[in-house]
Structure 1
Amino acid sequence: MRKLTFIILAAIVSLAGCSTYRGSNGVTVSNGSTFAVMPFVNQSNTPLAAENVGTIICSELSAKNINYVAYESADEPKDLKSILDDSYTTRKANDWLKTVSHNYVISGSVDEWNYKAGLDGEPVVSVTIRIKDINGNVVYEKTGSRSGFGRESLNGAGQKVVENILSDINYSR
């Protein structure tokens, strides 16, 4: 009987995937605050991973009825210099940030965004989200990592990580 219980418990844990979260406990913001979503830094080997995370963050904020404005890089020129210069988008986004009304800034990095090699091909994601107040002080920072299971999509695993991290935003009335 103990062996059967252990097998069932092991199956449940393996199906749930492994997740790890480290960082601040949460942040309390006033209701009606506006968040400016900055471009994330892509430190993974997957092209456009940072753009995927930015889209997921905007979707999660929208689902929570949180006001946000997001930097759009679609208008940026795609010449060789801007592509090779890693700080180009950051400089442009910082210029944009000065022109929009906001109370908090969301930024961060995508540290891992791919599938494990091998037969299982499980999705593996790691995202760091940082929230700064209007004065540039970091009020919240958390890193979340998740290794999903074989049939889970990469963006699905990423969405669970972002959703968990953003669940720490609390509102005061």
Structure 2
Amino acid sequence: MKPFILFTLSLILLAGCSTTALVNTQNRLPETNTTAQISLFELNNYTDTPRAGMRATNIVEGVLLAQGYHLKTHINQKIDSLEDAQDSAQEDKSDYFLIGGISEWRYKTGIDGEPAVSLQLSLYSTKDAKLIWSATGSDSDWGNGSIGSTAQNLIEQMTARH
């Protein structure tokens, strides 16, 4: 009986150390087996961490490329509005454009310093700037985890085609 109680407590502790929250629109990302192109813009950085938007955008780019999407990356281009992103995507002849923001990109304070990431992604149709897909997610990990791996796992969950 004692090993069972220890095992159960271990599972509860392990489950409590990593937290993921995720909200997606009902729509899915477009199929990857088409020639549709996505213009990807640097995610807005709403954190105190320098270059968090660029770092997260780089991970989004890698995940989407690995999933088979065709991208035109504007990782160094700042956009001021939805219309600016739409104009650039039209110049690229992209079918879609992806924008978003980072609201948390840090190591929590405390003994373990767990990584914590929160971000939002939105995919729009270039033709009419209509929202096609959106996801918002937050994740934290163990103290020995990195922000990059935590962000990559979160982005993979956000963009997964269920």
Q: Is residue 63 of structure 2 the alignment partner of residue 70 of structure 1?
A: no
Q: Is residue 79 of structure 2 the alignment partner of residue 90 of structure 1?
A: yes
- Aligned partner of 2:15 in structure 1 is 13
Distance 1:26 1:12 in 2: 32
For 2:130, give the aligned amino acid.
N
Distance 1:102 1:27 in 2: 18
With a CA cutoff of 8 Å and minimum separation of 6, indicate the structure with the bigger relative contact order: 1
- Aligned partner of 1:29 in structure 2 is 30
What SS does structure 1 have at the residue aligned with 2:94? coil
Contact residue 54 and residue 75 of structure 2 kept, 8 A: no
Instruction: Give structure 1 regions of 4+ aligned residues with deviation exceeding 4 angstroms.
Output: none
TM-score (norm 2): 0.85
Q: How many residues align?
A: 154
Distance 2:99 2:53 in 1: 10
Q: Which sections of structure 2, spanning at least 5 residues, go unmatched?
A: none
What SS does structure 2 have at the residue aligned with 1:98? helix
- Aligned partner of 1:46 in structure 2 is 49
Distance 1:149 1:26 in 2: 32
Distance 2:154 2:27 in 1: 15
Question: Deviations along 1:9-32, whole A, 9 cap, x unmatched?
Answer: 2133145x1100013134152522
For 1:7, give the aligned amino acid.
L
Q: Which sections of structure 1, spanning at least 5 residues, go unmatched?
A: 77-88
For 2:94, give the aligned amino acid.
H
Distance 2:23 2:13 in 1: 25
TM-score (norm 1): 0.80
RMSD: 2.0
